[in-house]
């Protein structure tokens, strides 16, 4: 596999000053190594394997190293990922008796010696070791292999899928294509996935100058899992990689995405309902939309989240008429997709 930057220079076109590589027609390469390191931190650090089942507690505490290379090549809009990486992670475990007394605490490592694009359809090798050779140490190691290995493979599959979709280049490609498509027109031109006509709520009539967002999303988890994520400050910080302050109380305030979105919890029904007053910082002062999220479980292990957001302004206070599209895309790509990827709730 050719190393990043070693492609045939006749086919590599440097970025224009205006950033336009129309429809990604020319061959371009993007280094994804730094992005890969950050993705592994987000996917694995703090991953809970067991939380008391059988008297055992196990979690991955740290991503020690990610080595190798990762990049994507793009030609005529086609994404060709390339990566050869290895990773080492630290895990810790504890065994307790029936009274909650600690019997043993151990540490170990998880090694992923070879993850490569040529083996994208295969599960990579996962090596688990423990630094404690006692019977309890071995028991914790076996528990990690039984419960933790599938979780690790699930998150590796998530990374492989993201690379196949362009990794960090995906959003960049979309934004550049939007700019190219939009030239010569005063109307915002949306990405195909975003421009699909949203499902309007039955007989719901938005106020003039405002719109309503409705979405239905499915997750591979129980309703309580998703409910807890959406009201947990530390998890918001984890899957958004940004500062967050989130209250779990009715009347409590929240601030997410480094303060870009703020609001107040209006109504909370555990594992069933979240209603919030919600606004972007660039909306007109004092204006809030209303977000209502309901949680249903049509079958055990599958949660259907239905979101309705009313009174979304058509323009922000600077006159930009992309508020609806930006808000809808933010829910889908920056919140729901991230939750699936980071916590393994994808179907």
Dump the DSSP string for 286-303. Answer: T--EEEEEEEEEEETTEE
Q: What pLDDT does 78 receive?
A: 77
Residues 209 and 313: beta-carbon distance below 8 Å: yes
Position with higher pLDDT, 230 vs 52: 230
Q: What pLDDT does 179 receive?
A: 46
Sole residue written with tokens 């059988």: 54
pLDDT of 203 above 50: no
pLDDT tens profile 143-177: 999 889 999 999 999 899 888 888 887 655 555 54
Q: What pLDDT does 6 receive?
A: 53
pLDDT of 184 above 90: no
Q: What pLDDT does 170 receive?
A: 67
- Residue range 97-109: mean pLDDT, rounded: 92
- Could you tell me the CA-to-CA distances from 229 to 12, 226, 247, 248 in Å, in that order? 43, 5, 12, 11
Q: What pLDDT does 8 receive?
A: 47
- Residue range 77-82: mean pLDDT, rounded: 80
Instruction: Flag the least confident range among 39-48, 122-131, 187-196, 247-256.
Output: 187-196
SS3 assignment, position 208: coil
Position with higher pLDDT, 195 vs 260: 260
Q: What are the structural domains, with CATH classification, of the chain?
A: 22-172 (3.15.10.20), 210-343 (3.30.530.20)
Q: What pLDDT does 17 receive?
A: 52
Instruction: Flag the least confident range among 3-7, 79-83, 158-162.
Output: 3-7
Q: What pLDDT does 25 receive?
A: 44
Q: What pLDDT does 197 receive?
A: 41
Q: What's the whole-number average pLDDT of the chain?
A: 83
* pLDDT band at residue 206 under the 50/70/90 scheme: low
Q: What pLDDT does 178 receive?
A: 42
pLDDT of 290 above 90: yes
What b-and-e string marks burial along 287-324, b requiring 16 or more CB atoms within 10 Å of the CB?
eebbbbbebeeeeeeebbbebbbbbbbeebeeeeeebb
């Amino acid at each position: 596999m050719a190393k990043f930057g070693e492609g045939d220079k006749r086919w590599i076109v440097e970025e224009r000053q205006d950033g336009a590589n129309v429809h990604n027609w020319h061959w371009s390469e993007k280094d994804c190594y730094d992005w890969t390191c950050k993705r592994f931190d987000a996917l694995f650090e703090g991953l809970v394997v067991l939380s008391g089942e059988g008297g055992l507690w196990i979690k991955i505490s740290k991503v020690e190293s990610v080595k190798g290379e990762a990049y994507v090549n793009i030609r005529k809009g086609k994404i060709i990922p390339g990566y050869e990486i290895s990773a080492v992670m630290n895990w810790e475990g504890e065994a307790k008796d029936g009274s909650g007394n600690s019997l043993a605490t151990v540490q170990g490592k998880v090694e992923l010696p070879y993850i490569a694009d040529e083996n994208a359809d295969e599960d990579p090798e996962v090596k688990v070791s423990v630094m404690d050779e006692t019977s309890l140490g071995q028991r914790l190691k076996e528990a990690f292999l039984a419960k933790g290995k599938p979780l690790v493979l699930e998150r590796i599959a998530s990374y492989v899928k993201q690379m196949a979709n362009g990794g960090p280049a995906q959003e960049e490609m979309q934004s550049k294509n939007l700019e190219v498509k939009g030239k010569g027109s005063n109307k915002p031109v949306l990405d195909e996935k975003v421009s699909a006509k949203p499902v309007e709520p039955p007989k719901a009539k938005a106020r003039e100058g405002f719109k309503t967002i409705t979405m239905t999303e499915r997750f591979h988890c129980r309703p309580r899992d998703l409910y807890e994520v959406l009201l947990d400050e530390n998890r918001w910080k984890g899957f958004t990689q940004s500062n967050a302050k989130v209250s779990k109380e009715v009347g409590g305030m929240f601030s997410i995405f480094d303060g870009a979105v703020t609001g107040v919890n209006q109504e909370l029904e555990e594992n069933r309902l979240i209603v919030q007053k919600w606004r972007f910082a660039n909306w007109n002062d004092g204006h809030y939309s209303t977000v209502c999220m309901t949680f249903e479980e049509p079958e055990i292990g599958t949660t259907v989240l239905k979101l309705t957001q009313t009174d979304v302004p058509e323009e922000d206070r600077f006159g930009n008429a992309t508020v609806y599209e930006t808000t809808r895309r933010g829910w889908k790509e920056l919140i729901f997709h991230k939750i699936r990827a980071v916590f393994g709730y994808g179907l």
